[in-house]
Amino acid sequence: MIVIDKTKATTIGIRVAVADTSLKRLIGLMGKRRLDAGCGLLITPSSGIHTFGMRFPIDAVALNRENKVVRLWQKLVPLRVTTINLKIHSVLELPAGRVTECQIEIGDQLAFEN
């Protein structure tokens, strides 16, 4: 799937997988050695994430039901847990540094295309 920041008219990712089952959400990025440029993982539904079992830092973008950015976590290292927030409907996991590269900000509207 392709992820676009409609607010900034930029492409965030071109190979973003979706974790939309209990098993996919549980496994997430655990066991992966890295997250390549252009890749990501959309975890839905999710009101927060953990980085247990991961080997690398990530950026995470929390989205509400309308896919508007409501929270950002940058360079989230392994063995961490984010806060849980009921306003969060899904979380987009990206390579560390991608939030800065794409200038993603709270309030940005994201879109997902196949």
Residue 77: count other Cβ atoms within 10 Å of its Cβ.
11
One-letter amino acid for residue 6 of the chain: K
Residue numbers of the chain with a pLDDT score lower than 50: none
Q: In the 8-state DSSP scheme, what is residue 27?
A: H
Task: Please report the pLDDT score of residue 2 as a whole number.
Answer: 98
How much of the chain exceeds pLDDT 70, in percent?
100
Q: What is the DSSP string of 47-106?
A: S--B-TT-SS-EEEEEE-TT-BEEEEEEEE-SS-BPPP-TT--EEEEEETTHHHHHT--T
Q: Per CATH, is 2-113 categorized as 3.30.470.10?
A: no
Q: Choose among 5, 108, 100: nearest CA to 59.
A: 100
Q: What pTM was estimated for this model as a whole?
A: 0.96
What residue ranges do the domains of the chain occupy?
A: 2-113
Tell me how far CA of residue 21 lies from CA of 1, 36, 43, 81, in angstroms. 17, 23, 9, 20
Task: Please report the pLDDT score of residue 31 as a whole number.
Answer: 85
